[in-house]
Amino acid sequence: MPSRRPHIAARLEDAFHAFRERRARRRGLVPIVVPFTGYGGPGWVRVLGRVVMRRPGPTPDRLAGIRGWRSFVSVPVRDAEVVVESGGVRHVIHADRGGVIDQRLEIDLEPGWRELRVSTDGDAVAAPVLVVDPGEGFGIVSDVDDTVMVTALPGRCSRRGTPSCSTSTRAHRSPAWPCSTTGCTMRIREPRSSTSPPVPGTSHRR
């Protein structure tokens, strides 16, 4: 029968993160939820995010500082208790050992863009969710790299016209699905003719 005990590498990683969390709390850092865009359907939503340690201050300022390479070195909060509120109803969930929130909750919301209030230690932030209309018959699956979506990768690639990172902040991105009845807009890039000038910083190959 396989052992339920975590692998030694996982135990070492947990001990390292526990040390970093204790040190961060001694330095005055506090837990905060970094919300990711969630989605759902009739009667349910999937809540996504991560709990990390940040310096005290206005919530938007703290969220703005967690981008690019900082996302890789942020101190995660293991098993953090997270409260999700919607319509006056509270749901208590927990982050995993890496501070990641990924929970499906029984919450009934109208189709379209909605917001949940997500908090830990009383510090609430707005978590956007897209509730798909059950009558929706068309959508797009976008293979955008998770690293770009989650880290809000800034800088060099946005100047090269790369579609998957053409905006440098999470606030300016939106999922490409679904369309029409949920009120979303679908951006379609028209093909460039062979006679049109190339976009600066990109190569045009036939």
72-93: pLDDT as tens digits:
678 999 999 999 999 889 999 9
The residue with greater pLDDT, 156 or 164, is 156
Residue 6 binned pLDDT confidence (cut-offs 50, 70, 90): confident
Tokens of 63: 């969220």
Question: Contact 37/150 with Cβ under 8 angstroms?
Answer: no
When the pLDDT of each residue in the chain is averaged and rounded to a whole number, the result is: 74
Q: Give residue 63's pLDDT.
A: 60
Assign a CATH topology to domain 9-134.
Immunoglobulin-like (2.60.40)
pLDDT of 173 above 60: no
Rounded to an integer, the average pLDDT of 129-142 is: 86
Q: What is the largest CA-CA distance in the chain?
A: 66
How far apart, in Å, are the Cα atoms of 95 and each of 15, 82, 152? 17, 7, 21
Segments of the chain assigned E as strands: 30-41, 44-54, 81-86, 89-94, 100-105, 112-120, 123-131
Residue 62 binned pLDDT confidence (cut-offs 50, 70, 90): low
The residue with greater pLDDT, 149 or 174, is 149
Place of tokens 């905060």: 32
Question: Contact 19/76 with Cβ under 8 angstroms?
Answer: no
Q: Give residue 205's pLDDT.
A: 47
The residue with greater pLDDT, 66 or 130, is 130
Q: Give residue 121's pLDDT.
A: 82
Share of the chain above pLDDT 70, in %: 60
Report the distance separating Cα 61 and Cα 55, nearest Å.
Answer: 10
Does the predicted model carry a pTM greater than 0.75? no
* Runs of H (alpha helix) within 79-203: 146-151, 156-159
Q: Give residue 138's pLDDT.
A: 84
Rounded to an integer, the average pLDDT of 1-19 is: 84
Q: Report how far Cα 142 is from the mean position of its chain's Cα atoms.
A: 15
